[in-house]
């Protein structure tokens, strides 16, 4: 990235007014770096193992997909400003590449005006994706994947434009909220000349150390969410593109985000046996109603004493399953909650984030089955939907998306 700095510094100096005096921060950043070298460790308690943990940024794949999910996530969709072309997108990607590499390793961005806030990386990852509109703006429609298009409308959808679409996406994850807020704010500010924010969605999971590693997350309905999930190690062929894909997509994937509102007020009135019949699993341990442990294979043929299926024909576990092993995807969901009484009917729910090689082949058929007949649909409503192409990673010497943008 060293060779890219002169171009970026020229841009920052030339665009100082637009970036609120960011050019003035460059000199200050150099002095701050030198000062930190003299002082050593930060004095704000950032020396704990959780705070200093880092995730590598450089590599064949972007972090934040196969990486163990962090406690918090902020997902930001942006729209390119009118007239933004390929050259503008390249400049943005160079800036983001530099800043993301710094931030994820616990160092401030080049024009960071609050550098102390960058000292706690807390396993920060930033994943960058491209919506359909970016390919058109860059004059690269010929390279747009066939699966990168609006997801078909499903019968249960009540989509709100405020939670749909986007030309670019930033998925910012970490085990510390302040780390995320600082990184997200800096990256959005740096994009101000090129793009505007379309929507922001924030979610959470259990914090590190509160449950054993590998524990399946619970959503706000109390349900274990993601039991039959893909393994980033064992199921690579269902997640990432290999060398049969276009060069820019090798090591890449696709991202779907569905914002799913939950009607917890009426769910609160449902007793445990009914909840378990709806899900087809026990609430306590996630075991199928025909098993004893969470990861037991459900027996969909089992009948009860009066001849009815133990697992209802419309239970969520049954509708989500298929005999086609290719209809699976990696789930990285996060709960969201605006607080009691806040946010209206969309105030509480799940950010259903998935990664898969092919949205049309893997994701859509499962969602169609669930939309057609799933007892859980009484309490959940999709209100947002967006999909993005996640380009391959960023080896040393490259910027994000370089193989696409220089095609």
DSSP assignments along 139-189, one per residue: T-GGGS-TT-SPPPP-TT----GGGS--SEEEEEEES-HHHHHHHHHHHHH
What's the CA angle centered on 206, arms 391 and 56, to 5 degrees? Answer: 35
Average pLDDT, the chain: 90
Determine whether 140 is exposed, middle or buried from the number of CB atoms within 10 Å of its CB (0-12, 13-18, 19+).
middle
DSSP letter, residue 288: B
Across the range 237-262, mean pLDDT stands at 97
- Distance spanning both ends of the chain, measured CA to CA: 20
Model pLDDT, residue 29: 53
Band of pLDDT at residue 6, cut at 50, 70 and 90: very low
Residue 381 CA to residue 261 CA, distance in Å, equals 5
DSSP letter, residue 298: P
Nearest to 128 by CA among 322, 397, 392, 396: 392
Q: Residue 212 pLDDT > 70, yes or no?
A: yes
Which residue in this structure is represented by tokens 């930001």? 76
Residues 6+ apart with CB under 8 A from 287: 281, 293, 294, 296
Q: Residue 33 pLDDT > 90, yes or no?
A: no
Model pLDDT, residue 343: 56
Q: Residue 43 pLDDT > 50, yes or no?
A: no
Residue 363, SS3?
helix
Residue 58 CA to residue 395 CA, distance in Å, equals 5
| pLDDT tens track for 139-165 | 999 999 999 998 998 999 999 999 999
Measure Cα distances from 30 to 8, 42, 111, 113 in Å: 15, 17, 10, 12
Model pLDDT, residue 48: 82
Across the range 374-389, mean pLDDT stands at 97
Q: Answer yes or no: are the C-beta atoms of 24 and 110 closer than 8 Å.
A: no
Output b/e per residue, 50-75; b: 16+ Cβ within 10 A: ebbbebebbeebbbbbbbebbbbbbb
Band of pLDDT at residue 234, cut at 50, 70 and 90: very high
Phi-psi region of 391 (alpha: psi -120 to 50; beta: other; left: phi over 0): beta
Residue 368 CA to residue 352 CA, distance in Å, equals 15
Residue 70 CA to residue 203 CA, distance in Å, equals 10
Q: Residue 27 pLDDT > 90, yes or no?
A: no
List 98, 99, 225, 374, catalytic entry: 225
Share of the chain above pLDDT 70, in %: 87
Q: Answer yes or no: are the C-beta atoms of 387 and 150 closer than 8 Å.
A: yes
Active-site residue 225, yes or no? yes
- Structure-block tokens of residue 406: 């220089």
374 or 213: which carries more pLDDT confidence?
Answer: 374
Q: Residue 198 pLDDT > 80, yes or no?
A: yes
Q: Residue 26 pLDDT > 80, yes or no?
A: no
Across the range 31-56, mean pLDDT stands at 63
| pLDDT tens track for 175-190 | 999 999 999 999 999 9
């Amino acid at each position: 990235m060293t060779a890219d700095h002169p171009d970026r510094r020229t841009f920052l100096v030339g665009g100082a007014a637009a970036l609120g005096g960011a050019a003035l921060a460059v000199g200050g950043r150099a002095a701050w770096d030198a000062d930190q070298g003299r002082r050593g460790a930060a004095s704000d308690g950032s020396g704990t193992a959780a705070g200093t943990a880092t995730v590598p940024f450089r590599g064949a794949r972007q972090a934040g997909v196969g990486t163990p999910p962090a406690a918090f996530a902020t997902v930001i969709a942006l729209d390119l400003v009118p007239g933004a072309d390929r050259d503008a997108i390249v400049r943005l990607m160079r800036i983001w590449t530099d800043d993301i590499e710094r931030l994820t390793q616990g160092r401030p961005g080049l024009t960071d005006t609050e550098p102390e806030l960058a000292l706690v990386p807390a396993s920060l990852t930033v994943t960058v994706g491209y919506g359909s509109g970016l390919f058109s703006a860059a004059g690269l429609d010929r390279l747009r994947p066939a699966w990168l298009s609006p997801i078909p409308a499903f019968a249960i959808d009540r989509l709100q434009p405020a939670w749909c679409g986007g030309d670019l996406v930033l998925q910012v994850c970490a085990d510390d909220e302040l780390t995320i807020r600082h990184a997200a704010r800096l990256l959005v500010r740096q994009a101000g000349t090129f793009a505007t924010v379309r929507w922001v969605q924030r979610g959470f999971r259990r914090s590190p150390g509160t449950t054993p590693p590998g524990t399946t997350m619970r959503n706000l309905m109390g349900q274990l969410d993601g039991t039959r999930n893909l393994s980033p190690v064992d199921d690579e062929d269902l997640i990432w593109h290999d060398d049969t894909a276009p060069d820019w997509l090798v090591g890449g994937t696709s991202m779907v985000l569905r914002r799913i509102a939950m009607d917890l007020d009426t769910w609160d009135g449902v007793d445990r046996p009914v909840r378990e019949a709806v899900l087809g699993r026990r609430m306590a341990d996630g075991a199928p109603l025909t098993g004893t442990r969470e990861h037991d294979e459900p027996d969909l043929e089992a009948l009860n004493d009066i001849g009815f299926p133990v697992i209802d024909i419309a239970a969520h576990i049954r509708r989500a399953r298929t005999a086609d092993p290719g209809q699976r995807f990696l789930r990285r969901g996060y709960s969201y909650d605006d607080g009691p009484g806040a946010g209206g009917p969309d105030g509480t729910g799940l950010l259903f984030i998935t990664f898969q090689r092919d949205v049309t082949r893997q994701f859509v058929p499962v969602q169609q089955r669930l939309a057609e007949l799933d007892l859980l649909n009484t309490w959940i409503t999709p209100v947002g939907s967006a999909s993005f192409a996640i380009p391959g990673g960023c080896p040393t010497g490259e910027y994000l998306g370089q193989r696409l943008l220089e095609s």
